[in-house]
C-alpha cells in the first residue's frame, strides 16, 4: 500500500515506547516528477487518515489502540520540496488543532522500523 491508494491505511502500529497509536503513510514518490499531483495524493491520503481517526477506525482494527494519542508518520523516500515543506507545516498545525500529530520521516530514519 502507498500514497497512491488514498482510501487505505498503509500500516498501523502500537508504539509502546511512546504510548501512542501510529498510522503510517508510505510515500515513495519523487517530488521532482509532478509536485502538484504528489501534493494532491498526499492531501487525499491525509484526509482519509483524519476521517479514520475521527471515526475510531484505528481502534476497530486494533482495540488496544483505543484511547491512545494518535500520530501519523509519513515515510518518505525522497526529501521534501520547498512547497511540500510548506504544506507539511500547515498540515502539522491542522493536525495539532485536531488533537493528533503529523511527522515526516525520510527513509524511516527517525522511527527506526522501516
- Is 84 among the domain residues? yes
Global pTM reads 0.90
Q: Give the bridge partners for 75, in sequence order.
A: 26, 105
Nearest to 70 by CA among 80, 55, 84, 82: 55
- Is 3 among the domain residues? no
Predicted pLDDT at 25: 96
- Is 72 among the domain residues? yes
Predicted pLDDT at 97: 96
Predicted pLDDT at 1: 80
Are the C-beta atoms of residues 78 and 35 closer than 8 Å to each other? no
Predicted pLDDT at 56: 85
Burial class (CB in 10 A: 0-12, 13-18, 19+), 3: buried
Residue range(s) defining the domain that contains residue 42: 11-106
- Give, in degrees to the nearest 5, the angle at Cα 84 between 114 and 77: 25
Predicted pLDDT at 111: 59
- Is 94 among the domain residues? yes
Predicted pLDDT at 66: 87
Q: Tens-digit pLDDT profile for the chain (114 aa)?
A: 899 999 999 999 999 999 999 999 999 999 999 999 999 999 999 999 999 999 888 778 888 888 899 999 999 999 999 999 999 999 999 999 999 999 999 987 765 444
Amino acid at each position: 500500500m502507498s500514497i497512491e491508494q488514498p482510501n487505505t491505511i498503509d500500516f498501523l502500529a502500537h508504539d509502546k515506547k511512546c504510548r501512542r497509536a501510529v498510522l503510517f503513510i508510505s510515500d515513495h514518490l519523487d517530488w521532482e516528477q509532478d509536485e502538484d499531483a504528489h501534493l494532491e495524493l498526499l492531501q487525499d491520503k491525509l484526509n482519509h487518515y483524519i476521517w479514520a481517526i475521527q471515526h475510531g477506525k484505528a481502534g476497530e482494527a486494533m482495540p488496544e489502540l483505543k484511547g491512545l494519542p494518535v500520530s501519523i508518520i509519513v515515510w518518505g523516500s525522497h526529501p521534501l520540496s520547498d512547497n511540500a515543506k510548506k504544506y507539511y507545516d500547515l498540515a502539522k498545525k491542522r493536525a495539532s488543532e485536531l488533537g493528533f500529530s503529523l511527522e515526516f520521516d525520510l527513509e524511516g530514519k527517525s522511527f527506526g522500523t522501516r
